[in-house]
Amino acid sequence: MSPIIRLALGSILVGLVVLGLKFTAWWVTGSVALYSDALESIINVVAAGAAALALHVSGQPADAGHPYGHGKAEYFSAVLEGVLIVLAALSILREAWLGFLSPAPVGAPLLGMLINAAATVLNGIWAAILLRAGRRWHSPALLADARHLLTDVFTSGGVLLGFALVPLTGWPWLDPTLAALVALNILWSGASVVRSSIGGLMDAAPEDAVMRRLRETISRNADGALEAHDLRAHRVGGRLFLECHLVLPGDMPLREAHAVCNHVEEALRREMGDIVVTIHPEPEEEAQRQGVLVL
């Protein structure tokens, strides 16, 4: 089993533990705000399961039916997670509205806060682990899961801070108000996850820093070529795809031109890791004089 799949399965386990803690906190207090926090944890568990399945599918090798691999399965998982986040927020808004119409005092606030705080700390630690791993492996599914958990951490912190004010102020309406604020924050998070995932499904270009590294690597390693132009790149999961045109002297033998292209491909793999390179060689009269000049 790959490390990335183990992390995804670990997310399910952590999500179940956090879910149990948060529902316990709600059960001992009756707080609508803590209930809203617990509802989001259900989404965490479902999303973690979807991410594990997507990572398993995306890890399958390319085949005749999917010659570019299965990496986009991760983006579908991330879109699903974003949709689930939005549904959770709408459910929380409903509970907050009902609580606002009929506010009730909360019970055992200190015990409920301690239980919820333990769940929040666990979520924060796991979110940091997922975020580091997701960036390392360029995994949309892990990054979406990590950002969702980070949102949960921040909203839980706000809930705990506000929840502490309820017994101090004697304002029972503060509890459902906090729940509504949590829901609005979750809605924003869900929309962000969906937006970034749709960018992956639409083959959006990678970050400017990645494109600069690609250009610099080609420029340093295309000895014998004159210019590279029409660079196009996109990510599919953790894999980078690059296409470019490489301008070569018109009288260069085919064997030498092929060697130049191979050298560029090898340099890109050393620099960028998991990358699929397609190079279209062109004679020098096709040079645009506006592409990447070879050093």
**pLDDT tier at 144, thresholds 50, 70, 90:** confident
Q: Give the tokens for residue 186.
A: 């979750």
Is the pLDDT reported for residue 225 higher than 70? yes
Is the pLDDT reported for residue 234 higher than 80? yes
Q: Residue 254: count other Cβ atoms within 10 Å of its Cβ.
A: 9
Closest to 117 in 3D by CA, of 24, 222, 206, 39: 24
Please, where are the H alpha helices in 30-108?
Answer: 32-58, 73-101
Average pLDDT value over all residues in the chain: 81
CA distance 148 to 153: 9
3-class SS of residue 159: helix
Choice among 103-107, 113-117, 197-201, 253-257 with the minimum mean pLDDT: 103-107
| Helix (H), strand (E) at residue 60 | none
CA distance 145 to 51: 8
Residue, of 85 and 274, whose pLDDT is higher: 274
Mean pLDDT of 230-240: 83
Contact (Cβ atoms closer than 8 angstroms) between residue 227 and residue 294: yes
Res 104: pLDDT? 60
Residue, of 75 and 246, whose pLDDT is higher: 246
CA distance 58 to 36: 33
Is the pLDDT reported for residue 295 higher than 60? no
Is the pLDDT reported for residue 184 higher than 70? yes
